Chain A
Amino acid sequence: MSVVIEAHNISKRFFLGERNQRAFFEDVSVKTIRGLRRLARRRLAPEQSSSRDFWALKDISFQISQGQTLAIIGENGAGKSTLLKILSRITQPTTGTVKVYGRLASLLEVGTGFHPEFSGRDNIFLNGAMLGLSRKDVRKRFDRIVEFSGLAKFIDVPVKNYSSGMYVRLAFSVAAHLNPEIVILDEVLAVGDTVFQKKCFDRMEEIIDEGHAAILVSHGMAHIRRMCQICLWLKNGRIKMLGPTDEVASCYEKATTHEVVAHYEKQTAEQHGPTHPSAIAGLVQWSVQSKAASAPHSIIVSQAKVTFRFEIELTAMISHGKISVSVADAQGLILFTQQGELGQITRGKFWATLELPFLPLKPGEYIVTCTISEADHPVAFLRATPELTVLKDESLAQSGYHGVLNMPARLSVEQIPQA
C-alpha cells in the first residue's frame, strides 16, 4: 500500500476586511520596503501577521494510502472546505505541501460551468471536459450518464428550461461517472428528491469502492461510520483528532452533544423569562438500572430492560405540575418523550422513575432531559449528566447499525416451493 495523498503542515491565512485605500497603501509600502531590503540583501524578518489575518487552517498533516477512505468532520467554519480546495489545487496554502499521487477528481459542487443556453447533451460534454475527461471518455459514458440522470427525454433541451431538480440531477450524473483514482466528495452533492438522493449515496459508495482512495466531507455520522476507516476532525482550522473513525466519531458526537445541550438550555432560559428555570428545581442525581449495566451510566443496547431514576429537588411549590422525560440523540433530535403527572407537590425531594421494557437504541450518546412544568408552562429544564451511553451488545451478532433504532426483530427467509 502506497501513499496517495500526503499533506504536510498545511496552513491557510485569509485577510479579513476590505480592500480600501488604506489597505492599498499599506500593501504598497510594506511590499516596497521588503523589496528594497531584498535588494540590499538583508535578511528578511518573517512577514508580520496583522489583526486582519485569519488562519482558516493551521498545521494540518495527514496521509492517505491506497484503499483508504478519510472522512473530514467538523462544524461549519472549521476549515473543511478550505482544506478540500487546497487538496484539489484550487487555492494555494500559506505554508506546507501537498503531494498527490494519481488522478484526482474533486466534486465540491455540481453544475458549475453549465451553460444555460446549451442543451443537456452539450453540457455533459462541456462539464466532462472541465472535469478532465476527453471527448472519447464522455462519449463512452454518455449513455450511462443519461440513464442515471433519468433525463433522456430532455437531453436536447437547453438546460435553462430545466427545473432546478433536473439541473442538479444532470450535474451529479456527470460528476458521478468520472472514475478517478482518488476522489474528493462533498456530501452536499446528494441532491434531488428522496429517490434520487438514495441513488446518489449508492453511487458515492460505488465511487469510493471503485477508486483507490477517497476523502469524504459529511455531517452524516452514519455514512461516515459506514464508508470511512479514518476520520479527521477539524476544529477552528486545527486537527482536533485524527484516527480510526469509530473513536473520532464518538468523541465528536460527544462534543456536539454538549454543545447542542448548552444551546438548548440557553434557548429554554431565553424563552421562559428572566428567572432561571433551574432555580425552581434541581436534579440531584440520576441513575440507570439495568440487569446488564456494566458501568453506572452505560447500558447495553437492545432488549435490555431499563429503569431511569431521577432524584429531583424542588425549591418552590407546584400546584398543577407535570414532569416529562425525553431522550434525544447527539444531534438534539428528540426520539421519545414520556409524560407523568406531578399534581400538587410541596418543596423537597422526590423520585421520578421511568421504566422501559426495552430500549431500542443503537450504540451512541444520548441526551436525557427532565422537564417540569406548571400548568403546561415549563418551569424547570433538567439535563441528566453524564449523558446516556448505549453500548454494543457483544452477545448479539449485529452486523451494522443503520437508522436510528435497534429493534429486537428477527428476519427470516423461507423458500417458496415451486409448484
Chain B
Amino acid sequence: MAQTSSAKETRVQSVPEIVTGTNDALPSAKPTYVVDADKILSSHPKDLWAYRELYLLLVKRDFVAVYKQTVLGPLWFFVQPFLASLVFIVVFSQIARLPTTDLPPLVYYMSGIIVWTYFSNSLSQVASTFLSSGTIFRKIYFPRLIVPFSQISMNFLNFIGQLLVLFGVIACYKLSGHRIELSLKILALPLVLADMALLALGLGCIIAAATVKYRDLNIVVGYTLNLWMYGSLVIYPRSAVPAHLQPLLALNPMASFVESFRSCLFDTEHTTVQPAVIATLMTIVIAIIGIWCFAKAEGTFTDSI
C-alpha cells in the first residue's frame, strides 16, 4: 500500500534543513549503546549481569508455570524417569539382554535417563527460544541470552530433584543389601553437568539462530534428540560397543558426558578422562560458535519470524 500511494504524493513546497537542536558538537562521552548495521546487535556481557534479576524471575516463572495447573504438580518429574526406567528394564535388560555393568538395571537406566532428560530438554528449549519468546523480543529489549540461560537453569533445578530421587533409589538398594559404592569422584559432578549445559547452550543457540530462517529445524530437533539418545550410552555401556563402532562414540560428546556422569556417581572401573577432555574441547568450540550465531540472529530475527 505504501508503494502505490507514492504515485500521487503531494508536494510540499519547502523542506527545511534537518533540525538538530542547538548543539554544535557531539558529546565526547561514550554512548550508552550503539546500533550499527555492521556490528552485532547483541548485548555486552555487562548487560547480562545487569539483568540478573530478570534471569531469576524467568527461572521462577518457568518453574512455577509448569506445575501451576497440574494435579500431581512436581510429582510428575519424579514419576517420569521411573516409568521410562521400567520400560527400559523390560525392553533392553530383560528382552535384549544388554549389560548394565555392575549396577542394578534400575539405577543404571535411571541415572542415564535423568541426565539425558536434563540435556535434551535444555537443548530443545534453547533451540526454540526465538519462537517461544518471539512476541516479547519484538517489543521489549533485554539481553536475549537471558532466556536460554534461564531455560537451562530451570532444567537444572528439575534435574536436581530427579537426582535426589535417584539417591533415594540407591539408598533402598543399599538397605536391601546391594553393593553400590558412591565414589569420591562425585566432586567432579558439577564439571560434567556444566559441560552438558554448555553443549546444550551451544547447539541450542546454533539451531535457534537457524530456525529464524528455516522453521523446519524445529521439527527435526525433537526426533533427532530421541535418536541421539541411543548413541549416547544411556542404555548400554561403552564396553558393549563393538570395536569397529568405537570411533563413532568418540565423535559424540554426549556419550562421554553420560558415561562420566555415571562414573562420577559410582566408581565404575573404567576411567574416562581422555574422551571427556576431547568432548569438553568440542563443547567449548560448539558453545562459542553457538553464542556467536545467536548474537548474529538477535538483530534480524524480527524480520522473518
Interface residues of A (CB under 8 A from B): 1-3, 6, 11, 14-15, 19, 24, 27, 61-65, 68, 75-78, 85-104, 106, 108-109, 112-113, 115, 117-118, 125-126, 129-132, 134-135, 230, 235-237, 240-244, 247, 251, 254-255, 258-259, 262
Contact = CB atoms under 8 A, between A and B. Distances in A.
B37 interface: yes
A241 B15 contact: yes
Given A118-B61, A230-B21, 9 more contacts: A1-B21, A90-B139, A91-B302, A99-B31, A112-B139, A113-B136, A126-B54, A132-B51, A236-B5
A138 to B, nearest CB: 9
Interface residues of B, number: 56
User: What's the dominant secondary structure at chain A's contact region?
Assistant: mixed
Contacts of A3: 20-21, 23, 26-27
B138 to A, nearest CB: 6
A100 B65 contact: no
User: What's the dominant secondary structure at chain B's contact region?
Assistant: loop
B302 A101 contact: no
B137 A101 contact: no
Interface string B36-61: 11000100000000110110011001
Given A100-B31, A242-B18, A91 B299 contact: yes
Given A77-B2, A85-B302, A255 B10 contact: yes
B64 A117 contact: yes
B27 to A, nearest CB: 4
Contact of B140 (A27, A68, A112): A112
B302 A15 contact: no
B64 to A, nearest CB: 7
Contacts of B9: 235
B3 A63 contact: no
A102 B10 contact: no
Contacts of B139: 90, 108-109, 112-113
A366 to B, nearest CB: 17
B34 A104 contact: no
Contact of A88 (B31, B36, B141): B141
B173 interface: no
B20 A87 contact: no
Contacts of B26: 2-3, 6
B300 interface: yes
B18 A62 contact: yes
Contacts of A242: 16, 18-19
24 contacts: A1-B23, A3-B21, A3-B26, A14-B303, A27-B213, A62-B20, A65-B23, A76-B1, A89-B141, A90-B140, A91-B300, A92-B36, A93-B37, A97-B36, A99-B33, A100-B34, A101-B29, A102-B32, A112-B135, A117-B64, A125-B57, A129-B54, A240-B15, A243-B16
